[in-house]
């Protein structure tokens, strides 16, 4: 993935590859720019996803925090343990409708079974991020949605055991879009046996009643409202 920095008047001031475990805000800061907001994410003709941000030259901005690499509890490694390095880009949506927020429950194929997030998932080779998101929403909830802008980019980095029972140095880059569902229906998981156990609409003012993952709690506090 490449990170592109553009000023408010559309001038491109940097383009750089996102390093393993790196946050785009930290990358921009190191190049002399404060990252203000995401603009879009598009796969170019060479097959590389370009993530564009609006940026401005640094003034007295504090350095953004670089998240330290986490580690699975109880994971023991020695010098001979093979470690796969993986950077995974995925797209998700905060979907709203007259019935509320569209929520998805993680299955036991994930590390957080029973907790809640929002629909989305990995981007296949050659796939545009928005196309991947529409596909994932349909597979996980059977809803037709209309995508809005890219509103948030989250990253996390940890080392742990993958579903394939290998050890991974794993860098997750999550592209979060806004979306609306003009004709909501009872959600149905079509991709049975995957990472989504169930899906439901939750009233916007009751979103705190679900056990969201930490990342989704942060996004919902910013997008929907902070706890009282």
> Can you give the pLDDT at residue 75?
87
Tokens (6 digits) for 18? 């996102």
Residue 228 maps to a domain: no
Residue 166 maps to a domain: yes
Does the pTM exceed 0.75?
yes
Write out the residue range of the structural domain in which residue 8 sits.
2-57
Residue 77 maps to a domain: no
Convert the pLDDT of each residue in 105-151 to its tens digit: 999 988 789 999 999 999 999 999 999 999 999 999 999 999 999 99
Residue 143 maps to a domain: yes
Q: What is the largest CA-CA distance in the chain?
A: 55
For β-strands 49-57 and 2-6, DSSP reports them as parallel
Same domain, 27 and 113: no
> Can you give the pLDDT at residue 96?
96
> Can you give the pLDDT at residue 225?
62
Same domain, 197 and 122: yes
Q: DSSP characters for the chain?
A: -EEEEE-TTS-EEEEEEPPTT--HHHHHHHTTEEEEEEEEEEE-TTS-EEEEEEEEE-SSPPPPP-PPPEE-TT----TT---EEEEEEEEEEEEEETTEEEEEEE-TTSSSTT-EE-SEEEPPTT--HHHHHHHHHHHHH----EEEEEEEEEEEEEEEE-TTS-EEEEEEEEEEEEEE-SS-------STTSSEEEEEEE-GGGGGGS-B-HHHHHHHHHHT----
Residue 174 maps to a domain: yes
Same domain, 93 and 53: no
Residue 76 maps to a domain: no
Could you give the number of structural domains in the chain? 2
> Can you give the pLDDT at residue 189?
97
Residue 66 maps to a domain: no
Q: pLDDT means per 10 residues in the chain (228 residues)?
A: 97 97 96 97 97 97 89 86 93 97 94 93 96 98 97 93 86 96 97 94 95 92 65
Same domain, 179 and 138: yes
């Amino acid at each position: 993935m490449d990170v592109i920095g553009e000023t408010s008047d559309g001038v491109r001031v940097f383009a750089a590859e996102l390093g393993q475990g790196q946050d785009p805000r930290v990358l921009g800061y190191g190049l002399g720019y404060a990252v203000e907001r995401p603009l879009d994410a598009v796969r170019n003709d060479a097959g590389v996803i370009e993530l564009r941000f609006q940026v401005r030259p640094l003034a007295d901005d504090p350095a953004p925090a670089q998240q330290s690499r986490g580690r699975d509890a109880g994971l023991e490694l020695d010098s001979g343990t093979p470690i796969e390095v993986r950077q995974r880009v995925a797209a998700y949506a905060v979907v709203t409708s007259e019935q509320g927020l569209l929520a998805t429950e993680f299955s036991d194929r994930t590390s957080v079974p029973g907790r809640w997030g929002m629909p989305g998932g990995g981007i296949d080779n050659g796939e545009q991020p928005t196309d991947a998101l529409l596909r994932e929403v349909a597979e996980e909830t059977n809803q037709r949605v209309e995508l809005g802008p890219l509103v948030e980019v989250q990253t996390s980095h940890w080392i742990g055991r993958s579903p394939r029972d290998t050890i991974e140095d794993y860098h997750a880059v999550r592209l979060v879009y806004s979306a609306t569902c003009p004709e909501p229906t009872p959600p149905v998981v079509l991709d049975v046996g995957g990472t989504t156990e169930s899906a439901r609409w939750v009233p916007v003012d009751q979103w705190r009643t679900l056990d969201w993952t930490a990342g989704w709690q942060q996004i919902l506090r910013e997008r929907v409202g902070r706890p009282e």
